[in-house]
């Protein structure tokens, strides 16, 4: 690993970078740097000798070549919405990809598009829609998260159940390697069995193997009709059973199935303007379900029949179907703002975990027992993607407690216990947010030595001097 102490030749670095990228491509302005060296939750603050803002792949390659030649470590960054402290620099040169925001190509007949790394997810969705296609990735940070960040964290979100994670949506990658060489792997092919599939190293690579500069992404037919429903549920068991019923009833047309705790709903209503409870109830859980159908005919019957069957089976006690796009958006607004409301409520211990869907109820009840025992009075905000077995099992300190002391003290014991439980259930300690700096030690402690050796061998082969996002993941 390289030395992260401030380098004496930083002035020379800035001079060379400015020569290569021009003044718009380089900054040391403290006001501009401030939001980029602080993470989304305001929990971590880093530092950087210089911010680099390439506007093209050639500029990104030039910047990386210069940093590499001078031995400066680098941290790539997109929207800085990552939640595992992976994109905030700690002495590294910060490479912000936001200026690389071109739509290079849309090929509707091939159902693909090529976007640069800095394109924001909402724009990717709009670009697909403008061509009569659908790009299914959707998540709470979609107004800021970039294609490069989404690729590099293998982002998930609310439509994984039907369309998969980013890994399933990427056809090809263009990247700058740690030594400054450009790899153009932007193939728009569904079939390509020509040796190792290298793009998968960069998907979920969290910027440790290079800078992703563009991606070729899969497009889908736009669903003719989406129906969104909100249901009141008495337990996690009922939610999981309702999911199975909905998948069978709709012939696999469920595109989203999210679990929302009553406490999370209360927080959203408290902190987000204009949100009200769609179906007031004292029940502990709500389910937000979306089904997508190729034809509009009979769609209403499908969702009504599905909810009716769930009610008959005693799985839901009440339900409402969105009557318009605006109503559907309002329901999704609740789900997407839980993390935002949680942030307003307090600093949280975040557990982005997954277990087999069938074991989710067991996880929820055992995890609650652990938190109640280890951190009495703490609030549990557990929500997320039931359909993927992925829960955001977050815990905020007891009211009145010193939040930082909690996170660094008993919170660590809670996290270890939650992760032990996840492993006991054959789950994952990072379902979709990645490892970053936050879970690096956990990863090393929980992966098998063989798996860690293979990962380190890949890192050493592509980045022998450890210059690219050091201290993240490995």
Interface with ligand FAD by CB under 6 A: which residues?
40, 75-83, 86-87, 97, 117, 139-141, 144-146, 148-150, 152-153, 155-157, 206-207, 211-212, 339-340, 432-433, 436, 469, 472
Q: Measured from the CB atom, is 138 or 375 closer to ligand FAD?
A: 138
Strand arrangement of the beta sheet that strand 285-293 belongs to: 316-321, 225-233, 285-293, 254-261, 379-385, 390-396, 352-354
CA distance 99 to 76: 13
- The distance from CA 400 to its chain's CA centroid, rounded to whole angstroms, is 30
- 3-class SS of residue 359: helix
Q: Measured from the CB atom, is 66 or 173 closer to ligand FAD?
A: 173
Smallest gap from Cβ 58 to ligand FAD, in A, equals 15
CA distance 379 to 274: 24
Q: Measured from the CB atom, is 2 or 311 closer to ligand FAD?
A: 2
Smallest gap from Cβ 218 to ligand FAD, in A, equals 17
Smallest gap from Cβ 97 to ligand FAD, in A, equals 4
Residue identified by tokens 């490069």 is 148
Q: Measured from the CB atom, is 50 or 83 closer to ligand FAD?
A: 83
Q: Measured from the CB atom, is 121 or 306 closer to ligand FAD?
A: 121
CB neighbours of residue 361 within 10 Å? 17
Q: Measured from the CB atom, is 73 or 86 closer to ligand FAD?
A: 86
Q: Measured from the CB atom, is 36 or 306 closer to ligand FAD?
A: 36
Smallest gap from Cβ 419 to ligand FAD, in A, equals 18
Strand arrangement of the beta sheet that strand 211-218 belongs to: 103-107, 112-116, 211-218, 170-176, 182-185
Alpha carbons within 13 angstroms on the beta-carbon side of residue 312 total 8
3-state SS string over 282-341?
A: CCCEEEEEEEEECCCCCHHHHHHHHHHHHHHCCCEEEEEECCCHHHHHHHHHHHHCHHHH
Smallest gap from Cβ 331 to ligand FAD, in A, equals 16
Beta bridge partner(s), residue 251: none
CA distance 161 to 255: 6
Smallest gap from Cβ 239 to ligand FAD, in A, equals 18
Phi, psi angles (nearest 5°) of residue 151 = -65, -50
CA distance 353 to 340: 19
Q: Measured from the CB atom, is 140 or 308 closer to ligand FAD?
A: 140
Smallest gap from Cβ 86 to ligand FAD, in A, equals 3
Smallest gap from Cβ 116 to ligand FAD, in A, equals 9
């Amino acid at each position: 690993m390289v030395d992260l102490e401030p380098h004496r030749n930083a002035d020379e670095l800035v001079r060379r970078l400015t020569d290569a990228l021009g003044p718009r491509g380089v900054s040391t302005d403290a006001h501009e740097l401030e939001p980029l060296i602080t993470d989304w939750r305001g929990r971590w603050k880093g530092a950087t000798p210089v911010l680099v803002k390439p506007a093209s792949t050639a500029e990104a390659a030039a910047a990386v070549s210069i940093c590499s030649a001078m031995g400066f470590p680098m941290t790539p960054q997109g929207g800085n919405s990552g939640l595992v402290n992976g994109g905030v620099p700690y002495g590294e040169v910060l490479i912000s990809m936001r200026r690389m925001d071109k739509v290079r190509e849309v090929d509707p007949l091939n159902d693909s598009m090529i976007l640069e790394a800095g394109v924001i997810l909402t724009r990717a969705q709009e670009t697909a829609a403008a061509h009569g296609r659908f790009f299914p990735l959707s998540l709470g940070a979609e107004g800021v998260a970039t294609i490069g960040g989404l690729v590099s964290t293998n982002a998930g979100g609310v439509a994984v159940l039907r369309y998969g994670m980013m890994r399933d949506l990427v056809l090809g990658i263009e990247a700058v390697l740690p030594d400054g060489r450009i790899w153009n792997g932007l193939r728009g092919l569904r079939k390509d069995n020509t040796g190792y599939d290298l793009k998968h190293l960069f998907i979920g690579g969290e910027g440790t193997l290079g800078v992703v500069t563009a991606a070729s992404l899969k497009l889908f037919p736009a669903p003719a009709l989406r129906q969104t429903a909100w249901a009141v549920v008495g337990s996690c068991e009922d939610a999981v059973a309702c999911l199975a019923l909905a998948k069978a009833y709709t012939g696999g047309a469920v595109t989203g199935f999210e679990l929302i705790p009553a406490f999370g709903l209360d927080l959203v209503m408290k902190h987000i303007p204009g949100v009200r409870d769609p179906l007031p109830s004292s029940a502990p859980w709500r389910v937000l379900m979306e089904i997508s159908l190729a034809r509009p005919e009979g769609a209403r019957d499908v969702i009504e029949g599905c909810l009716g069957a769930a009610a008959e089976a005693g799985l839901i006690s009440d339900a409402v179907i969105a009557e318009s796009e605006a109503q559907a958006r309002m329901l999704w607004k609740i789900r997407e703002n839980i993390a935002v409301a949680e942030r307003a409520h307090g600093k949280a211990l975040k557990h982005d975990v997954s277990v087999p869907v069938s074991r989710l109820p067991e996880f929820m009840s055992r995890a609650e027992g652990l938190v109640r025992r280890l951190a009495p009075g703490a609030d549990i905000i557990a929500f997320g993607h039931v359909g993927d077995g992925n829960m955001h099992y977050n815990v905020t300190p007891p009211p009145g407690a010193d939040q930082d002391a909690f996170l660094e003290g008993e919170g660590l014991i809670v996290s270890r216990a939650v992760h032990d439980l996840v492993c006991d259930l054959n789950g994952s300690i990072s379902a979709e947010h990645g490892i970053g700096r936050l879970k690096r030690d956990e990863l090393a402690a929980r992966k098998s030595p063989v798996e860690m050796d293979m990962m380190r061998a890949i890192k050493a082969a592509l980045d022998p001097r450890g210059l690219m996002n050091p201290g993240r993941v490995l």
